[in-house]
């Protein structure tokens, strides 16, 4: 390779001979034959490649498919070298030789020094362009993360609000119910009922208390409550409208009330009042238990989703991550969307970073929900494949723009209206799956269903 050979290239025609000689000294000449891979997609762009002769295809791999983006087929075309101005720069495609030839290969750090010495203004301009692009992307990603965090926080608050409010209401009512129990005992004592009568009343209370949780048709319950209210009124019980509802809900019938009347003989009202209060206490305690259990489940889902109390890299069961993500996004799932889980029992654990995978599931499920609107079918599927796990997230929605699936993984590309997204969800997912876990992510458009397919290896490979 000579100075004259470089000067013949349009990009070097105005560069001084001494500067070209310095450039040649910084690099080396690399010969190649068809099939050789000179650089690899997603690897650090540590070298600048200038074609001298031959042909090199630029091939981009998405999932299992390769796409030819173009070719370096004329002397003077170049690729790579991005790390001269961007420490995070990577090759955007693989360079694969299709005809015998040669290239000039210059290390990125040497290219930066040579550019600065040859034309400081141009070097400064190029570095500014790269820094601006990186800043814009970083700010967009930060906004995407903040929006996602705000959405999840709002969703969690929404999910926690219902059980927390129910528990608060139950606790407030529980105080009144306990006062009713004590008051009923005082009234029974004032009527001087015997211990035998109280034990018989307790036995009758247990008869209906055992079935208090059974589901009853609302019409049947209303009829039972009306019958009890009429009976209580006929027997001079003043608070029939307060006592009938809890007794009816517990399964008490008029025949049961007749037996209570036979046992108490003159202390019917305080006896039934005490029974109704104890039933109310039991019901309220059940509500508190169910509400706090729901809160505990939500906290557990958050811990599973965030992985804050676990190591970053661990043996992971993918269905658990999918389920915790669905819980976190529960407030966003419309009543008209059916969630179908199809987890193969043979799905193995894989070595992965579950916190990052949960971010992937969040992005994919959110996109699926946006595509379906208020009605549809969300399908979550896992099964063993090769030496890892295949995850499918399918929805009954459709892509809003023809050919959008071909650009879906490009940074900033979005089919959503302005203000509804940054176009980074699938790009971030691809980076996590492909870059961090060495897996694959592809889009499969089927009749009536759009499927995002994610394959993850069983063993994690450091990126």
Quote the pLDDT of residue 97: 93
Q: Kindly list the averaged pLDDT for each block of 10 residues, start to end, along the chain of length 463.
A: 85 84 90 92 87 90 69 88 77 90 91 79 64 61 61 68 81 85 85 86 82 66 87 84 85 87 84 87 84 76 58 82 84 87 93 84 87 89 91 81 57 49 64 83 85 89 60
Integer Cα distance of 358 and 105 in angstroms: 40
- Sequence ranges of the domains in the chain: 3-118, 156-297, 308-457
Integer Cα distance of 394 and 433 in angstroms: 17
Integer Cα distance of 227 and 256 in angstroms: 12
Quote the pLDDT of residue 383: 93
Count of all residues that appear for the chain in the document: 463
Quote the pLDDT of residue 215: 61
Quote the pLDDT of residue 408: 64
Integer Cα distance of 349 and 68 in angstroms: 35
Strand partners, 395: 378, 450
Predicted TM-score of the model (pTM): 0.46
Quote the pLDDT of residue 197: 87
For residue 166 the two structure tokens come to 């129910």
Quote the pLDDT of residue 405: 57
Integer Cα distance of 233 and 240 in angstroms: 6
Q: Which of 216, 215, 254 is nearest to 235 (CA)?
A: 254
Strand partners, 415: none
User: Do 368 and 192 touch, CB atoms closer than 8 A?
Assistant: no
pLDDT tens by residue, 373-417: 888 999 999 999 988 999 999 998 876 555 555 556 665 445 554
- The domain made up of 308-457 is a member of CATH 3.30.565.10: yes
Per CATH, the homologous superfamily of domain 3-118 is Jelly Rolls (2.60.120.10)
Integer Cα distance of 130 and 135 in angstroms: 9
Quote the pLDDT of residue 418: 39
Quote the pLDDT of residue 210: 58
Q: Do domains 3-118 and 308-457 have the same CATH topology?
A: no
């Amino acid at each position: 390779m000579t100075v004259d050979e470089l000067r013949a290239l349009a990009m070097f025609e105005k560069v001084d001979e001494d500067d070209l000689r310095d450039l040649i000294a910084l690099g080396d000449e690399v010969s190649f034959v068809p099939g050789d891979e000179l650089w690899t997609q997603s690897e650090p762009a540590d070298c600048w490649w200038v074609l001298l002769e031959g042909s090199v295809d630029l091939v981009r791999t998405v999932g299992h498919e390769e796409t030819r983006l173009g070719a370096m087929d004329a002397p003077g075309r170049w690729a790579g070298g991005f790390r001269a101005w961007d420490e995070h720069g990577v090759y955007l495609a693989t360079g694969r030789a299709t005809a015998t030839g040669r290239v000039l290969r210059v290390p990125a750090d040497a290219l930066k020094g040579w550019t600065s010495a040859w034309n400081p203004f141009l070097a400064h301009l190029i570095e500014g362009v790269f820094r601006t692009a990186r800043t814009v992307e970083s700010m967009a990603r930060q906004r995407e993360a903040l929006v996602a965090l705000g959405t999840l926080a709002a969703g969690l608050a929404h999910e926690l609000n219902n059980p927390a409010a129910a528990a608060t209401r139950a606790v407030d009512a529980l105080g009144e119910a306990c006062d009713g129990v004590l008051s009923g005992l005082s009234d029974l004592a004032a009527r001087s009922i015997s211990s035998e009568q109280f034990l018989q009343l307790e036995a009758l209370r247990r008869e209906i208390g055992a079935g208090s949780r059974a589901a009853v048709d609302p019409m049947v319950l209303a009829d039972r409550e009306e019958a009890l209210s009429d009976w209580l009124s006929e027997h001079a019980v003043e608070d029939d409208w307060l006592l009938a509802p809890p007794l009816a809900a517990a399964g008490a019938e008029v025949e049961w009330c007749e037996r209570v009347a036979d046992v108490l003989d003159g202390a019917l009202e305080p006896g039934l009042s005490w029974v109704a209060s104890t039933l109310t206490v039991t019901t309220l305690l059940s509500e508190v238990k169910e509400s706090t259990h729901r809160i505990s489940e939500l906290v557990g889902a958050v811990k599973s989703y965030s992985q804050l109390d676990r190591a970053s890299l661990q043996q992971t069961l993918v269905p658990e991550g999918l389920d915790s993500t669905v819980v976190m996004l529960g407030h966003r799932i419309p009543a008209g969307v059916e969630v179908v889980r199809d987890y193969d029992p043979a799905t193995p654990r894989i070595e992965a970073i579950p916190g990052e995978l949960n971010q992937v599931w969040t992005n994919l499920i959110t996109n699926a929900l946006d595509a379906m609107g208020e009605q549809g079918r969300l399908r979550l599927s896992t099964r063993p494949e090769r030496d890892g796990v295949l995850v499918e997230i399918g929805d009954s929605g459709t892509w809003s723009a023809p050919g959008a699936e071909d650009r879906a993984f490009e940074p900033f590309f979005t089919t959503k209206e302005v203000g509804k997204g940054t176009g980074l969800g699938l790009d971030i997912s691809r980076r996590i799956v492909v870059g961090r876990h060495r897996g694959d992510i592809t889009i499969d458009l089927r009749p009536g269903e759009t499927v995002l397919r994610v394959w993850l290896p069983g063993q994690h490979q450091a990126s």
